[in-house]
Structures are given as structure tokens and as C-alpha cells.
């Protein structure tokens, strides 16, 4: 933060009025945090963190604030003076901590997070630097505190007392790259599971001294770290840790967005590592013990953790993703493993039979083509180009009132672009990018454009956006595996998949809210290691027709 810091001061006798008119004597030693009124968080008044401290006043593990007010150009907050952070303690102890020490930290940290979550907040930046012990030589020297609430957000709507809505904005990272949850990297709305995942990485770091994704640098650091996190199994990450660490990580990475954590059960995982006498434990676990008083009741609850579908665990895979929409009976045809020189004969035969291309994709530099009689297009052209994408040809077709209706790219850098007449589009724009260009998409959304097709070539993305696309809203689901939970949440809210593409690292699905809702909104997806020819005819029998297909990163 600009112009901010904490210092100690002596003021045993003085009392002071805070901004709310309360008067109280200060303890002998306090911490003072300054923020200049021009700093980022003070543009519209006092720092946001002040509001959070006020809301969490008296919460277990949150330090007491004695004064908040303005002195000249600075906002000043005076709070309890605490001792070293867990990072300081780990570093001064030779960058190592005993299993019992880390287990005590785990139990007490979970109890602190439960208290914070019970007030409707998630911390948003759980890491060793933000856990502090009490002052050395005082009765609180073994007590754990959680500080720095500037990134805390509400997981519960205070008006309705309901969980906040799910969303994903891939450009909205919050937290610290090393310890952030995978969901935070991907820009998903923060919820209770994220604090617990960050705590899991904190515990493994304190025990092992290092996390596998340390050392990445550069503009794509967050991308590389998230990719590594999602491809590192709990078995590998916790291979040198006692079993409770793995069990804790497995539990929290598979929590659903709005799932209520069983804090008591999570604490109980670490019981086997903690000595029986609380008075001689390296960390005060009073908070964990209070949570534990509820444990017998909670542990008797039905445990469906093994039966329920896992959110994150699985082996990264490369597969076909196919989407099927309910349609009135129509003629549809597919071709796959099509070499460049076989493309024209397939298309010409389809055209002779009254079919036009509705979707295309590429796998191992061979093409997949979906043709049907229900496109609504009146004319169609296509180009196979060594470029990704061939700008001059596209602009030439735009002049003739053709618009891009499908696009695909091969790993070798070539592309197949299909442009059609009879679309509802009135204007188009496209972008080719080395990474998924969410900021550009967001900018174009504000201009009235919607994503209408996407493709990848190697690690590059091509996004086509159109005006008058027939949508009223649109969202993105982006993942290093497959965004199953996000897709189902979007479906529940009336969105349907309208475009998708995948690289060997990520899959992206565009879900849209149609202006005119179809009579039958049924939509299904499949992930298959081979082209889904064995499934398509079964879908046709149910009047479900291929609406889109792509090949790339998923999870098996």
C-alpha cells in the first residue's frame, strides 16, 4: 500500500475518541497503521479495511482496533500490537516447523476462519505473512491472529442472508499468487472454500518449506502457477507431509462454491498430530477446542463426501467436448479426421444434399466438420489458410455481406474459416491472442458485441464477436481442467453453451442468454477420448443434435 505502515507507540495513559465517538484507554504498546488519503483504497474516503474491522469486531482471532480517524493527510488506525508472523517464525526457526506446530496452526486457523465466515466474510488473502502470533513474553505469545483484511469480501448477502451469486471474470485475480486458490486465479467469485484452499497451501509450505509452483516469473506467472496447482495432485503435493495434510487438501479443493464447510471435521483431521495437553502445545488452540465441542454431533451427520461428485480431483486429459441441443427433427452429418485435401469433397457433397456447415474443429491437424439442414444460412463460403487467421480474405467476405459463422485452427498454425449469409449479424470483430483475451471480450460486450465463435491454434486463441447475435447476456467459463460446476450453475440460471474452444492447457466455454428462448431448452455435453460418433446417433434418436465441438484440455 502506498504510504502505509505499522509502528509501535507508547501511550499507556491516554484515551482517544475514535471516528464513532467511543473513548477507551490504549494498551501500553499498540500498532499504528497509516494510509495516505491519495492511496488506492482511500479514493472515496476511509480505507475499505476499516469497514471490515468494524464488522468483525470481537471476532475470534481478529486483533482489536482501538481507534480509527484522520490526522492531516493520513487515515490512522490504532490496533493491538502483535508479534511475529508465521513466515517470520518459520524463517527464524531455520525454515522448518514440526508436524505438531503446523497441525496446531491448522486447527486454530480453521477456527479463526469459521468465526470470520460466520460473520459473512471471507478473508481473501490467507498466507503465512497474514497470520501473526501475540507479542513475545506476554500471555498471548502463543495465540494466533489473522490480519490484513483489505481483500476481504462478503460471501453472504446481508439483506437476504443468502449466498452471493456465482460468477467468473478471468481478469479479476485477488490475493497472493503463491497461496491463492485455483478459483481465485480463474477469477471466480470468492467463497469459503477459497480461504480453506489457501490455508492448505500455507500449511504445506510451513511443513515442507516450499511449494512446487514457486519460482515462476513474468507476465504469465499467475497462468503458470494456476496450471501447476491444478495438475499437482494432493498425493504429490502432500507426499512428504503426514496424512492429515493430504486429507485436508483433498476435502477443500473439492468443495462446491456455496458449500458450508464442516469446520469441526476439518479440525479433527489434525487431532492425531496434536499432543493431549493443551497447556504445552506450541500454539494456543482454544478456538479449535470450542469448535471441537460441537464435533460429536457433526461427525455423526451423514457423510456423503465419497459418494458426491468431485469438483477438482481427476487426471488432466485431452478429449473431445461436444454439445447437443434439442431441435426439431432435421438432417445432420459429421465427418472427422478429415485431411486438407478431403475437405472440399465432403463439403461439396453436403451442399448437394442441402446441408451447410454449422460447426468445425481440429484434432492433431485433421478437421472435424458438422453439416446440417437447420443452419438458416442462405449461402456459405470457406477458406483453408496457412494463417491463423487470414485477415485479407475475411475482410473481402465482409464486403460481400458474409459473416464468420464457424472457425477452427490446427496446431501447425493453419485455420479453417467458414463465412455465411443469412446470419442475424450486422457487424463483426475478431481478435487473435497468445492468451485468452477476456479483457478484450469484456470491452466488446460493453459495445454490444457477443462472442459467436472461437478457435485455438496451439496455445493461441481466436475470438469472433458479433453485433445483433440474439443474446441478452453472456458469460465465460474458463478452466485448466473442465468447468463442470460453473457450467451447471449457468444452466440453472438459463444460460446455454453457444461457443467453445480448447488448447492443451485450458478449455473455454461461452454461455449465453438467448433473447428468444427455445421451446425445448435441453442441452447436454459429452467428453470423450475419441470423436463421439458412437454417441451422436443415440442423441439424434432423442432429437438432440450436435451444436458445437472442440478438442483440448479436460479432466478424466
Which residues belong to the active site? 125
What number of H helices and E strands is found in the chain? Answer: 16, 25
Q: Name the nearest CA neighbour of 491 among 461, 522, 460.
A: 522
d(CA 35, CA 371): 62
Interacting residues of 310 by C-beta distance below 8 A, sequence separation 6+: 254
Could you tell me how far CA 378 lies from the centroid of its own chain? 41
Asked if 54 and 102 count as a contact pair (C-beta separation under 8 A), the reply is: no
* Pairwise CA distance, residues 54 & 326, whole Å: 52
Beta-sheet pairing, 523-528 with 379-385 = unpaired
> d(Cα 409, Cα 385) in Å, to the nearest integer?
10
Give the C-alpha separation, 195 to 530, whole Å.
Answer: 38
| Residues comprising the chain, all counted | 556
d(CA 59, CA 280): 25
Cβ neighbours of residue 121 closer than 8 Å, sequence gap 6 or more: 52, 55, 56, 149, 152, 153, 154, 155
Helix (H) or strand (E) holding 39: none
Q: Cα separation of 321 and 506, whole Å? A: 12
Q: How far is residue 14's CA from residue 81's CA, in Å, rounded to a whole number?
A: 16
Q: Label residue 265 exposed, middle or buried (CB < 10 Å: 0-12, 13-18, 19+).
A: middle
* Three-class DSSP category at 80: strand
Residue 224 Cα to chain centre, angstroms: 14
* Contact present, 307 and 272 (Cβ < 8 Å): no
Measure the CA–CA gap between 181 and 304, rounded to whole angstroms: 24
Cis omega before residue 389 (within 30°)?
yes
CA distances from 170 to 3, 137, 167, 182, 453 (A): 30, 46, 10, 11, 18
Which cell goes with 313?
480431483
- Quote the CA–CA distance of 301 and 299 in Å, as a whole number: 5
Tell me the C-alpha to C-alpha distance, in Å, between residue 202 and each of 113, 125, 249.
14, 11, 11
Q: Decide if 454 contacts 465 (C-beta within 8 A).
A: no
Q: What share of the chain is helix, strand, coil (3-state, %, to 5)?
A: 30, 30, 40
Amino acid at each position: 500500500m502506498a504510504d502505509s505502515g505499522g509502528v509501535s507507540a507508547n501511550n499507556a495513559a491516554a484515551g482517544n475518541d475514535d471516528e464513532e465517538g467511543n473513548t477507551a484507554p490504549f494498551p501500553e504498546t499498540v500498532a499504528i497503521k497509516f494510509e495516505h488519503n491519495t492511496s488506492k483504497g482511500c479514493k472515496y474516503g476511509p480505507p475499505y479495511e476499516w469497514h471490515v474491522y468494524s464488522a468483525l469486531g470481537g471476532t475470534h482471532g481478529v486483533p482489536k482496533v482501538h481507534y480509527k480517524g484522520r490526522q492531516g493527510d493520513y487515515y490512522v488506525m490504532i490496533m493491538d500490537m502483535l508479534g511475529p508472523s508465521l513466515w517470520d517464525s518459520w524463517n527464524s526457526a531455520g525454515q522448518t516447523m514440526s508436524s505438531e506446530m503446523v497441525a496446531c496452526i491448522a486447527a486454530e486457523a480453521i477456527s479463526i476462519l469459521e468465526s470470520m465466515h460466520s460473520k459473512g466474510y471471507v478473508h481473501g488473502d490467507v498466507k503465512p505473512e497474514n497470520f501473526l502470533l501475540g507479542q513475545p513474553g506476554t500471555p498471548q505469545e502463543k495465540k494466533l491472529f489473522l490480519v490484513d483484511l483489505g481483500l476481504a469480501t462478503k460471501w453472504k448477502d446481508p439483506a437476504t442472508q443468502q449466498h452471493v451469486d456465482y460468477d467468473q471474470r478471468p481478469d479479476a485475480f485477488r490475493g497472493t499468487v503463491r497461496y491463492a486458490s485455483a478459483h481465485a486465479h480463474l477469477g471466480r467469485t470468492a467463497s469459503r472454500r477459497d480461504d480453506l484452499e489457501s490455508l492448505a497451501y500455507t500449511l504445506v509450505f510451513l511443513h515442507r518449506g516450499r511449494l512446487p509452483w514457486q519460482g515462476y516469473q513474468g507476465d504469465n506467472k499467475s497462468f503458470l502457477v494456476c496450471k501447476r496447482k491444478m495438475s499437482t495432485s494432493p498425493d504429490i503435493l502432500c507426499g512428504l507431509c503426514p496424512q492429515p495434510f493430504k486429507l485436508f487438501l483433498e476435502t477443500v479443493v473439492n468443495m462446491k462454491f456455496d458449500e458450508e464447510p464442516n469446520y469441526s471435521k476439518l479440525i479433527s483431521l489434525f487431532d492425531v498430530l496434536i499432543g493431549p495437553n493443551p497447556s504445552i502445545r506450541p500454539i494456543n488452540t482454544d478456538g479449535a477446542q470450542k469448535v471441537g465441542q460441537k464435533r460429536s454431533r457433526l461427525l455423526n451427520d451423514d457423510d456423503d463426501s465419497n459418494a458426491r461428485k468431485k469438483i477438482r480431483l481427476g487426471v488432466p486429459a485431452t478429449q473431445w467436448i461436444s454439445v447437443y441441443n434439442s431441435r426439431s427433427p432435421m438432417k445432420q452429418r459429421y465427418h472427422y479426421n478429415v485431411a486438407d485435401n478431403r475437405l472440399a469433397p465432403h463439403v461439396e457433397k453436403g451442399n448437394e444434399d442441402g446441408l451447410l456447415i454449422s460447426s468445425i474443429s481440429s484434432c492433431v491437424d485433421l478437421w472435424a466438420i458438422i453439416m446440417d439442414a437447420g443452419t438458416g444460412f442462405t449461402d456459405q463460403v470457406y477458406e483453408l489458410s496457412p494463417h491463423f487467421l487470414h485477415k485479407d480474405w475475411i475482410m473481402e467476405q465482409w464486403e460481400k455481406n458474409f459473416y464468420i459463422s464457424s472457425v477452427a485452427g490446427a496446431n501447425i498454425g493453419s485455420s479453417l474459416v467458414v463465412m455465411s449469409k443469412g446470419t442475424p449479424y450486422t457487424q463483426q470483430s475478431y481478435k487473435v491472442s497468445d492468451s485468452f483475451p477476456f479483457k478484450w471480450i469484456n470491452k466488446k460486450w460493453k459495445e454490444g458485441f457477443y462472442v459467436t465463435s472461437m478457435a485455438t491454434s496451439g496455445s493461441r486463441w481466436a475470438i469472433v464477436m458479433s453485433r445483433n447475435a440474439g443474446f441478452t447476456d453472456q458469460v465465460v467459463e474458463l478452466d485448466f481442467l473442465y468447468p463442470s460446476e460453473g457450467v451447471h450453475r449457468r444452466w440453472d440460471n438459463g444460460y446455454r453453451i453457444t461457443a467453445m474452444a480448447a488448447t492443451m492447457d485450458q478449455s473455454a466455454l461461452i454461455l449465453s442468454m438467448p433473447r428468444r428462448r427455445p421451446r425445448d431448452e435441453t442441452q447436454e455435453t459429452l467428453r470423450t477420448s475419441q470423436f463421439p460418433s458412437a454417441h451422436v446417433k443415440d442423441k439424434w434418436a432423442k432429437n438432440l443434435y450436435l451444436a458445437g465441438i472442440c478438442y483440448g484440455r479436460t479432466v478424466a
